[in-house]
């Protein structure tokens, strides 16, 4: 509404033999592991989760990513907030892709 980005959610699908590159060493303060999907991290301004999908068709993987402004979030509250949002996003992603169901 005011032209400022506050929240972004994305889902990217690609073949299993390719890989998503997360340079966790560049994230400051360091990211924490997120026990969702096949691999996950949470950091102060977002979270990422990888879902590997091996079904009856061609195997693929999906990266779910969320990020956003933390200006209005209480100090220390952004990682728990992004963790809760990502739990819901992973659940919806699994239902849509049939990964892990």
Give mean pLDDT in consecutive 10-residue pieces for the chain, a chain of 101 residues: 72 86 80 92 92 84 89 81 94 85 62
pLDDT at position 64: 95
Which residues, at least 6 apart from 45, have a Cβ–Cβ distance to it below 8 Å?
Answer: 67, 68, 69, 70, 78
Please provide the distance, in angstroms rounded to a whole number, between the alpha carbons at the two ends of the chain.
Answer: 38
Per-residue model confidence (pLDDT) at position 101: 62
Counting Cβ atoms within 10 Å, is residue 57 exposed (0-12), middle (13-18) or buried (19+)? Answer: exposed
Q: What is the DSSP string of 68-98?
A: E--TTSPTT-HHHHHHHHHHHHHHHHHHHH-
> What predicted TM-score, i.e. pTM, was given to this entire model?
0.85
Point out which residues pair with 28 in neighbouring strands.
none
């Amino acid at each position: 509404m005011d032209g400022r980005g506050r929240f972004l959610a994305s889902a990217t699908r690609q073949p299993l033999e390719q890989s998503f590159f997360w340079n966790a060493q560049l994230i400051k303060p360091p990211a924490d592991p997120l026990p969702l999907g096949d691999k996950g991290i949470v950091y102060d301004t977002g979270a990422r989760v990888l879902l590997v999908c091996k079904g009856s068709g061609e195997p693929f993987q999906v990266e779910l990513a969320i990020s956003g402004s933390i200006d209005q979030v209480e100090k220390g509250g952004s990682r728990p907030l992004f963790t809760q949002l990502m739990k819901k996003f992973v659940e919806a992603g699994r239902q849509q892709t049939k990964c892990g169901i």
